[in-house]
Amino acid sequence: MGIQDETRHLEEADKKYIWHPFTQMKEWVDEKPVVISEGRDCFIKDIYGRWYMDGVSSIWVNIHGHRKKEIDDAIKEQIDKISHSTMLGLSNVPAIKLAEKLIKIVQKSEVRSQKLDKNAERRTLNAKLTKVFYSDNGSTSVEVALKMAFQYWIHKGIGGKNTFLSLRNAYHGDTLGAVSVGGVETFHKAFSPLLFKAYSAPSPYCYRCEAGLSCPGCKLACLERMEDMLRENSSGIAAVIIEPLVQAAGGMIVSPTGYLKGVRDLCTKYNVLMIADEVATGFGRTGRMFACGHEDVAPDIMCLSKGITGGYLPLAATIATDEIFNAFLGEFRELKTFFHGHSYTGNPLACAAALACLDIFEKEETLKKLQPKIQILESWLNEISGLPHVGDVRNKGLMAGVELVKGKQKKEPYAWEEKIGWKVAYHARENGVFIRPLGNVVVIMPPLSISHENLLQLLKVIKDAIIAVT
């Protein structure tokens, strides 16, 4: 088969055999699919040899770029030893080393909290993260967290804490437990008959505040509403689950300063656990290792995935406190065991990749080098905020959203079917940049390793696309 026949065959076979996620396949079959064959640094290459800048880090996972030598080598080295063995009844070397490293990193931010905040001691005392439970992806890390939190209270002899409190516009994954605590109507409403009931608190979405208030004059009224719900219902609530600082898939909604810390304090006050879903925000994305670190918050359970392997292999970790772990200890016959586990849990290749990824953070001072890039992004956001159809710009670290509006004065949204975000994305693609929008929100989330020059080019192409399309 010649190269042209081979590329054509791949395109046809894709349409014939693959059902793509979050994709209207009726449209897909009429389009020319971009089929990726290679990657390097912050670029991906299609089967025709065209290079695109990876403006959304291969769906928010890539950290140090594609084909990062240290991660490539770590995986190859591990392949020569063993690729997979189960964590059910056995352990493996990379999984142990990674758990030790993760706990050190997580606790480092807790030590920092103790220094900075006199209330932190109380928080870290009841929330010292010490135990890693592995799974495979962000959704499973959330399922694990929900089941752990629910069963924790049962083991403590406190009955009735049968549900959760989550936020509108929340996204915690696509499995049914995660969808039950989700709040993105477009994705979640259809499944409502299958879901368990959860309390839904307002989203800290200042641009479209549910109460019609503006920040900081509102004095975080959304938090007060959450407190009302906890005051009335905490005896039935196992945990509050939250995406710290940024509701990512809900539209890159950045919460106002103090909100996250306020949630932690409410959880402590009303005796419910706090689950921080750092699947999207973790591993440097917001400018600190974990988003919780910005407000010196120590959750009771933390969910990690996406960037954990640098965007190489599926892996997730749900990290819990000793307090939670200890509640599951008992005699064999007591059935206090946490009955949960996946076939590829703690996969040695993925753990080896994650170890290499974390080493690079230290060796290359990734977080330090990120600061000027965040400044570049922020000054660009500031600049484009004056464009006639840019309603709101928001970011935390190298995680940004540009909300496009039809009418700026009244914040009138574009209709979903206008596909305005997609039009911008397609225009950018014609100019060598791959991005994927969230409805009317243009998402900017390149690998943390992106050079200043490439970042400026990425932003230029996106600005041109916004101007051309709106």
Ligand X SMILES: Cc1ncc(COP(=O)(O)O)c(C=O)c1O
Instruction: Summarize as ranges the residues that interact with ligand X (CB under 6 A).
Output: 137-139, 142, 171-173, 243, 248-249, 277, 279-280, 305
- Per DSSP, 255 falls in state P
Shortest approach of ligand X to residue 170 CB, angstroms? Answer: 8
Q: Rounded to an integer, what distance in angstroms lies between the CA atom of residue 30 and that of residue 256? A: 42
* C-alpha distance across the termini of the chain, in Å: 43
Q: What is the Cα–Cα distance from 423 to 435, expressed in whole angstroms?
A: 11
Tokens of 126: 């009841």
The CA distance from 374 to 396, in Å, is: 8
Buried b or exposed e, range 58-82, using 16+ CB within 10 angstroms: bebbbbbbbebebbeebbeebeeee
Q: Which two tokens stand for residue 45?
A: 């290459």
Q: Is the omega angle on the peptide bond into residue 216 within 30 degrees of 0, that is, cis?
A: yes
DSSP string across 289-303: SSGGGGGT---SEEE
- Minimal CB distance residue for ligand X: 138
Using the minimum distance from each CB to ligand X, give the nearer residue, 133 or 270. 133
Tell the smallest beta-carbon distance from residue 139 to ligand X (Å).
Answer: 3
- Judged by beta carbon, residue 120 or residue 276, the one nearer ligand X is 276
| Residue 273 phi, psi dihedral angles, 5° rounding | -75, 155
361 neighbors 284 (Cβ within 8 angstroms): yes
CA 276, distance to chain mean position in Å, is 10
Alpha carbons 192 and 197: distance in angstroms, whole number: 9
Beta carbon of residue 245, minimum distance to ligand X (angstroms, whole number):
11
Amino acid type, 248: A
Query: Which structure tokens are listed for 324?
Result: 């939670």
We find the least distance from the C-beta atom of residue 396 to ligand X, in angstroms, to be 13
In the complex, minimum distance from the CB of residue 277 to ligand X, in angstroms, rounded to a whole number: 5
Strand order in the sheet with 36-40: 36-40, 43-46, 51-54, 433-434
Nearer to ligand X by Cβ, of 380 and 434: the residue is 434
Report in angstroms how near the CB of residue 455 gets to ligand X at its nearest: 22
Q: Which is nearer to ligand X, 285 or 463 (CB)?
A: 285
Q: Rounded to the nearest whole angstrom, what is the least distance from the CB of residue 212 to ligand X in the complex? A: 27
The three-point CA angle 444-319-87 to 5° equals: 110
Tell me how far, at minimum, the Cβ of 23 lies from ligand X, in Å: 14
